[in-house]
Amino acid sequence: MTEKFPGYKGEALRALKEAGAGIGDKIRVMKDEEIYQGVLIPRSEFGDDRHLVLKLNTGYNVGILVTKDTKIERIGVGAKPAFSTPPLPKQKENLPRVAILSTGGTIASRVDYRTGGVRPALTANDLYSVVPELSEIAFLDARILFSVFSENITVEHWSEAAKSIAKFVKNGVAGVVVAHGTDTMGYTAAALSFALQNLPVPVILVGSQRSADRPSSDAATNLIGAVKAAASAPFAEVAIAMHETVSDDSIIFHRGVKARKCHTSRRDAFKSINVPPLARLKDGKIRMLTRDYQKRDSEKEVIVEPRFNEEVTLIKFHPGMGPVIDWHVENGYKGIILEGTGLGHVSNRYFSAIRKAITKKIIVGITSQCIWGRVNMNVYDTGRDLLEIGVIPLKDMLPETALVKMMWVLGQTKDFTEARKLLSKNIANEFSERTVFGD
């Protein structure tokens, strides 16, 4: 595979080079009795090495097997994509200023129907032209923070994002929107919730479950909702903005530490776990769904604590589990979150490993793999034993949030006792004292 011929290799690449034909060129392929004429387009990296892909006049792509008898002729130079943006809506200076930071998820994009390529829209101008409604809501400042798939996000990215957001907040924006891939958006939201405290304005993470190139994408609606919340929502917390249902008529705001991606593909994949969501946008209005929230207040000054420690792991206990705890202890990990069964249990086979870890001043906390509900270590012997060993019960905190919190805690202090205390302290409403009945 070469840069000039993306996706092409082997026999197909050799034939193309021989014909002097490149991507975007008009070519004619003769084979058996058929003549195919069209534009040579890139091949998927996972395609085999024997087919060419042509885009015909009709717009269809076809794959042609290259054989000994295949003749390829270059009949025209490929036209370069002509980028032109439609007239932009006027930026309105009097609207609230909102910063949009992109991390790599494609929140908006354009399609090149000539080559079939999809091109992300990242700058403020791009966003305005693709989602013109934004110009009626806020005066945007768009920045590219980094360009990574969300599964490739690390703690360094969290730190960097926290610092950039803080800078915008200190400069007095009405709110910040972070465009993020949905896979790890819950983790990032939790990380920012701990790293950015005493926020005067909201920080809204937003993603989409259907790619932005399609007319049915949820990206634009989610983005509009996010910008609206950043510009004018009454809360000043880190939240996730996504579809509330499979319909396009309401956007729901989940508290960053309480949200989890619960579906692989649905638009309403994110759910608030163990608490009602923060707020809802419907019919153009944002309504709070809880009384217990941090209010927007420009007098407040953001506190940034952007350090995280990666020497932390999340272990999901399961029947027949191997010596995973020992391995982490031996390899110098400083914190372990257990995702136990039911009310917060692991098999007594691992008691000695856990005891060893705690003796070595490794912090061990426990959550439940049930996802919904809170742990309670007093009901069964196993729970009482784990408490006695020194495992910290983490109430109704999500396992993923607990993991992020442990990373953050160990970024703040190296002291065993202080870290244990900090882990149990409610920092960003990651614990709720009451579990209210919900659907």
Partner 1 sequence: MVAADYEKLGLKVGLEVHQQLNTKTKLFCDCRTELFKERPEITFLRRLRPTQSELGQIDPVALFEFQKGVKILYDGNKETSCLVEMDEEPPHDLNREALETALIISLMLGANPLDEIHVMRKTVIDGSNTTGFQRTCCVAFNGGIDIKEKVVPIQHIGLEEDAARKMGAEGDTLRYRIDRLCIPLVEVATSPVIYTPKEAEEVALAIGRILRATGRVKRGLGTIRQDLNISITDGALVEIKGVQELELVSLVVENEVQRQLNLLKIKEELAKRGAKKDEIKDEFVDVTSVFRKTKCKIIHSAVEEGKHVLAVRLPRFGGLLKKELMPNVRLGTEMADRAGHWGRVGGIFHTDELPAYGITVEEIKTLMQTMNAKQDDTVVLAADIFENVVDALKAVNGRAMEALKGIPNETRAAKPDGSTRYSRPRPGATRMYPETDVPPTEIPRPYVERLNKYLPELPEQKMQRFIRDYGLNEKLSKQVLNSEFTQLFEETIERSNISPTIVAVTLTETLKALNRESVEVKNVSDKQFLELFHLVGLGHVVKEAIPDIIAWLSRHKNVKTIEAIEALSLSMLSQKELENIVDSLIEENRKLLLENEKRAFGVIMGLTMKKVRGKAEAGVVSEIVNRRLTLFKKKS
Q: What is the smallest separation between the CB atom of 418 and partner 1, expressed in angstroms? A: 46
Q: What is the smallest separation between the CB atom of 176 and partner 1, expressed in angstroms? A: 24
Q: What is the smallest separation between the CB atom of 185 and partner 1, expressed in angstroms? A: 18
Of these residues, 141, 183, 213, 326, which one is catalytic? 183
106 is catalytic: yes
Q: What is the smallest separation between the CB atom of 39 and partner 1, expressed in angstroms? A: 12
For the chain, what is the total number of helices (H) and then of strands (E)? 10, 23
Cβ neighbours of 270 (radius 10 Å): 27
Q: What is the smallest separation between the CB atom of 141 and partner 1, expressed in angstroms? A: 22
Name the residue nearer to partner 1 (CB basis): 33 or 433: 33
Of these residues, 70, 103, 106, 367, which one is catalytic? 106
Name the residue nearer to partner 1 (CB basis): 76 or 81: 81
Which phi and psi (to 5°) does residue 91 adopt?
-70, 130
Q: Strands 392-393 and 363-368, how do they pair?
A: parallel
Rounded-to-integer distance, Cα 277 and Cα 259, Å: 9
Rounded-to-integer distance, Cα 26 and Cα 49, Å: 20
Instruction: Kindly state the tokens that stand for 290.
Output: 């809880």
Rounded-to-integer distance, Cα 100 and Cα 144, Å: 8
183 is catalytic: yes
Query: Which residues does residue 285 pair with via DSSP β-bridges, in sequence order?
Result: 282
Name the residue nearer to partner 1 (CB basis): 132 or 323: 132
Q: Would you give the distance in Å from CA 153 to the centre of its chain?
A: 8
Instruction: Kindly state the tokens that stand for 19.
Output: 């014909």
283 is catalytic: no
Name the residue nearer to partner 1 (CB basis): 110 or 334: 110
Name the residue nearer to partner 1 (CB basis): 58 or 94: 58
Strands of 21-144, DSSP E: 26-31, 34-40, 51-56, 61-65, 71-76, 97-102, 109-112, 117-120, 139-144
Of these residues, 258, 261, 395, 405, which one is catalytic? 261
Cβ-based neighbours of 320, under 8 Å, separated by 6 or more: none
Instruction: Kindly state the tokens that stand for 61.
Output: 């792509």
Query: Interface residues with partner 1 (CB under 8 A)?
Result: 32-34, 44, 46-48, 51, 53, 56, 58-65, 81-86, 110-114, 116-119, 129-130, 209-210, 213-217, 220-221, 245-249, 264-267
Judged by DSSP in three states, 415 sits in coil
Which phi and psi (to 5°) does residue 155 adopt?
-65, -30
CB 225 within 8 A of CB 251: yes
Q: What is the smallest separation between the CB atom of 437 and partner 1, expressed in angstroms? A: 26
Q: What is the smallest separation between the CB atom of 120 and partner 1, expressed in angstroms? A: 12
261 is catalytic: yes
Which phi and psi (to 5°) does residue 6 adopt?
-55, 130
Name the residue nearer to partner 1 (CB basis): 108 or 230: 108
Name the residue nearer to partner 1 (CB basis): 61 or 171: 61
Rounded-to-integer distance, Cα 420 and Cα 406, Å: 9
Residues forming the active site? 106, 182-183, 261
